[in-house]
Amino acid sequence: MTVVSDIAVAPRDRLNPARSLHWVLAVALGLACLVNLQVGATDATLSSVLAKLAQGETLSQIERVVLFDIRLPRLVMGVLVGAALAVSGAAMQGLFRNPLADPGIVGVGAGAGLGAILAIVLGALLPVWMIDRAGNHLVPFAAFLGGWGSTILLYRVSTRQGRTSVATMLLAGIALGALAGALSGILVYIADDRQLRDLTFWGLGSLAGASWAKGMSAAPLILLSLGTAMVLGRGLNGLALGEATAAHIGINVQRMKSTAILAVAGATGAAVAVSGGIGFIGIVVPHLLRLASGPDHRTLLLNSALLGATLLILADVIARVVIAPAELPIGIVTAVLGAPVFLWILLRRRGMVEL
């Protein structure tokens, strides 16, 4: 027998550093908010306004409008959408046990997109009183309905005898995405020029057009979904071992999965509804955090919310300044920054992607 020199060294802990990261990221988010309010196409900046207020001067009409009616609601919406996209990405990756899974992949995003395109192209066919009443809520509302409906359909298809097969769900998501894409393609043929421009901008994702009304229409659903996602940490950790083992270590797997699906659908639907298809936040943010502080979902979910919000409002700053006074759709910025990261993950995992 060999002598086992197995004197236990206290293993390095990653949970407490990951918890400290909550505070670091919260501070970063606060700073990013200040930057976001400061930068823009007009001279009305946060610092100039604060200086004026400090000297007891009153704000001009333009300053008030720019800061409180344009930039602030846009900031709030950016924070909510960024957190929603990153958390739904992290939760979905935990659910599918795959770091490349994203709400876009299982058709929730595509379903929401179809709903939005339907509203843009065929919305004019609705009775006038309906259009008047819906106003600019029509597209977001249709997008939310589309995402919600596709989630329910997906669940019906992939769940049998109370058990959801992750593989079936992924494949069904591909089919749903293809179907939604085809229907969207038909609608694009019908669309006129103005509608086509709307479609392009919506499809690329943008925070432009943010208003308090729009933000408030999405906020309750996003906050509810985020709160729900935060209790999933332990369950998703167990699920990393597989469904059977997760059950063996005492997790109510079916209930946990249903909760996760609801949280993901709610967050994604509401985010897509107000901002279109902003991609890659849901993949890049959790991945960076796993590299920084490990894959433990008990801290990953909250950290994702904070970092997702921070990155999205910084991307929004970039979108506003690169071609000022015009602005880029923010989806272009996140895609340019995020797609290479996605490919890098893929490259590193090429040999071991399991589907």
Partner 1 sequence: MSLIAEDIRVFYGKRAALRGVSLTALPGEVTAIVGPNGSGKSTLLGAITASLPYQGAVSLNGQDVSAMKPWQLAAQRAVLPQASHLAFPFKVIEVVRLGLQSGTAGDRPEVPVQALARVGLAHYADRTFQELSGGEAQRVMLARVLAQVWAPVENGQPRWLLLDEPVSSLDIAHQLQVMDIARGFARAGGGVIAVMHDLNLTALYADRVALLATGKRMAFGRPHEVLTDEILSDAYGCALRVSAPPPAGIPFVLPHAASA
Shortest CB 338 distance to partner 1, Å: 20
Q: Which stretch binds partner 1 (CB under 8 A): 90-98, 142-150, 181-189, 268-276?
A: 90-98
Contact 81, 214 (CB under 8 A): no
Q: Which stretch binds partner 1 (CB under 8 A): 6-14, 76-84, 210-218, 326-334?
A: 6-14
User: What tokens does 78 get?
Assistant: 């950016």
Q: Which one of residues 149, 224, 234, 345 is an interface residue with partner 1 (CB under 8 A)?
A: 234
Q: Which DSSP category does 352 fall into?
A: G
CB atoms within 10 A of CB 106: 30
Q: Return the amino acid letter for 154.
A: L
Q: Which DSSP category does 294 fall into?
A: -
- Stretch 295-314: interaction string toward partner 1, x if CB under 8 A: xx------------------
**For partner 1, the closer CB: 135 or 162:** 162
Separation between Cα atoms, residue 29 and residue 47, nearest integer Å: 18
> Could you identify the residue written with the tokens 């509810």?
224
Q: Is 355 in the site for partner 1 (CB under 8 A)?
A: no
- Nearest Cα neighbor of 248 from 238, 256, 262 is 238
**For partner 1, the closer CB: 6 or 132:** 6
**For partner 1, the closer CB: 295 or 338:** 295
In the chain, the N- to C-terminal Cα span, in Å, equals 42
Shortest CB 294 distance to partner 1, Å: 7
Q: Return the amino acid letter for 316.
A: D
User: What tokens does 12 get?
Assistant: 């390095």
**For partner 1, the closer CB: 206 or 259:** 259
Q: Is 43 in the site for partner 1 (CB under 8 A)?
A: no
- Stretch 275-294: interaction string toward partner 1, x if CB under 8 A: ---------------x---x
Contact 304, 86 (CB under 8 A): yes
In the Cβ-directed half-sphere of 194, how many Cα atoms lie within 13 Å?
A: 3
Q: Which one of residues 24, 100, 188, 247 is an interface residue with partner 1 (CB under 8 A)?
A: 247
**For partner 1, the closer CB: 256 or 317:** 256
Q: Is 12 in the site for partner 1 (CB under 8 A)?
A: yes
Q: Is 349 in the site for partner 1 (CB under 8 A)?
A: no
Q: Is 341 in the site for partner 1 (CB under 8 A)?
A: no
Q: Which stretch binds partner 1 (CB under 8 A): 34-42, 124-132, 198-206, 250-258?
A: 250-258
SS3 state at 252:
coil
Q: Is 14 in the site for partner 1 (CB under 8 A)?
A: yes
- Nearest Cα neighbor of 116 from 213, 196, 199 is 199
Q: Which one of residues 199, 251, 264, 328 is an interface residue with partner 1 (CB under 8 A)?
A: 251
Contact 123, 131 (CB under 8 A): yes
Separation between Cα atoms, residue 106 and residue 182, nearest integer Å: 16
Give the helix, strand, coil percentages of the chain, each rounded to 5: 75, 0, 25
In the Cβ-directed half-sphere of 115, how many Cα atoms lie within 13 Å?
A: 28
Shortest CB 21 distance to partner 1, Å: 16
Which helix (H) or strand (E) is 134 found in, with range? helix 128-134
Q: Which one of residues 44, 116, 253, 315 is an interface residue with partner 1 (CB under 8 A)?
A: 253
Q: Is 97 in the site for partner 1 (CB under 8 A)?
A: yes
Q: Which stretch binds partner 1 (CB under 8 A): 47-55, 142-150, 239-247, 260-268?
A: 239-247
Residues that bind partner 1 (CB under 8 A): 4, 6-12, 14, 94, 97-99, 161, 234, 237-242, 244-245, 247-253, 290, 294-296, 352, 354
